Amino acid sequence: MVSWRVAAAQYPIDPLADWDAYATKVALWVAQAADGGAALAVFPEYGAMELASLDPATMGDLAGSIETVSALLPRVDALHAELAARHGMHILAASAPRKDADGRFRNTARLFAPNGRMGVQDKLVMTRFEREQWGIAAGAGLKLFETELGKLAVNICYDSEFPLLARAAVEAGAEVILVPSCTDSLHGYWRVRIGAQARALEGQCYTVQSPTVGEAAWSPAVDINRGAAAVYGPPDRGMPVDGVLAIGSENAAGWVFAEIDTACVADLRADGGVLNARHWTEQPGAQAALPAVEIVSLL
C-alpha cells in the first residue's frame, strides 16, 4: 500500500472502574480511528498506565502501579490483536512496563497487524525519571517492521532525540517512524517534537507523534501530561513548507489524521530539493557504527 491514512492519538489517562471500562474505552478509540479512515492508529508512550487504577491498593504507589500494569499486559495485547483484526487496521498500542525474566521492567511498544502478527519495540534510552525514580531498564535492539503499509520503525519518546537510532532505521529502509510520547511539561513535549521533526528532515521520511494528555492526579507516574499529536515530513517538494502535515491542539483529547504517501518518500530520497538521507555519510563522524537493526515481517 503506497498511500494510506494514519491516526495519532492525543490520549487521556483516565481512572477506570474495571477491566470492561478499559476495554470499552480502547475499543471506542480504535473504532473512531477506523471511522476516520485510518489504516494505522498510533497510541502514546505509557498510555497503558491508566490500568494501574484497577488496583486501588497500589494505584498511588509507583512500584506497585508498574507491577499491576505489567501483569495485565497479556490481556491488553489480546484486546489490541482482536481490535486490529476486527477493523482490518494496524495498531501501535500504548507502551507499558513489561517485567522480564531478569526481574527488570522495560518500556515496550507493540505493533499489531490485522493478520494477527505482532512486533515489539522496547525503549532504548531511558530518561532521568525512568532511571532514577522508576527503575525502568533499557531495552536491547532496534526493529524495522515490514508491513502492508510499508516499512515502519518506532522511536519511543526520548529515543527520538538521538539521531543514530532513526538513521539506522532509515538505512534499513524505514519510511515512517512512529514516536509515541509521554511528557509532563511543554519543555519535554517540544524536545520530542523537535526530535521528531529533525528525524523527518534527516531521513526524508514521515514521523508520527502521539502523546498522553491531561491530568491524572491519582497516578505517581503519569499525573501531568502535556503535548499535541502530529504528523511530520521533510519540508520539501510535495510536503507542507514547514513539514507539518497535521497537528492537534495541545492537551485536547482526540485523534489527529494525516495522509501518508510512501512513494513521496522514495521520490524525495531520489530527487528532492535536498538529499539529506543520501548525503548523511558526507558529514564528519558519519562513519561511526550504527546500531544493528532487526527486520521483523508483519506481512
Residue 288 has pLDDT above 80, yes or no: no
CATH number at residue 284: 3.60.110.10
As a whole number of angstroms, the distance between CA 203 and CA 207 comes to 10
Q: Residue range 219-245: average pLDDT?
A: 97
Task: Report the domain count for the chain.
Answer: 1
As a whole number of angstroms, the distance between CA 201 and CA 220 comes to 35
The pLDDT-based confidence of 66 (bands split at 50, 70, 90) is: very high
The residue range of the domain holding 112 is 3-297
pLDDT digits 0-9 by tens, 173-193: 999 999 999 999 999 999 999
pLDDT digits 0-9 by tens, 243-271: 999 999 999 999 999 999 999 999 999 99
Q: Minimum mean pLDDT among 5-9, 21-25, 262-266, 288-292: which range?
A: 288-292
Residue 299 has pLDDT above 80, yes or no: yes
The kind and range of the H/E element at 277 are helix 276-279
- Residue 244 has what pLDDT? 98
132 exposed, middle or buried (CB, 10 Å; 0-12, 13-18, 19+)?
A: exposed
| Residues making up the chain, counted from first to last | 299
Q: Which of 235, 181, 249, 185 is nearest to 212 (CA)?
A: 181
CB 7 within 8 A of CB 257: yes
Q: Which of 75, 174, 73 is nearest to 120 (CA)?
A: 73
Place of cell 519511543: 156
As a whole number of angstroms, the distance between CA 158 and CA 179 comes to 9
The pLDDT-based confidence of 36 (bands split at 50, 70, 90) is: very high
Residue 287 has pLDDT above 80, yes or no: no
- Residue 286 has what pLDDT? 80
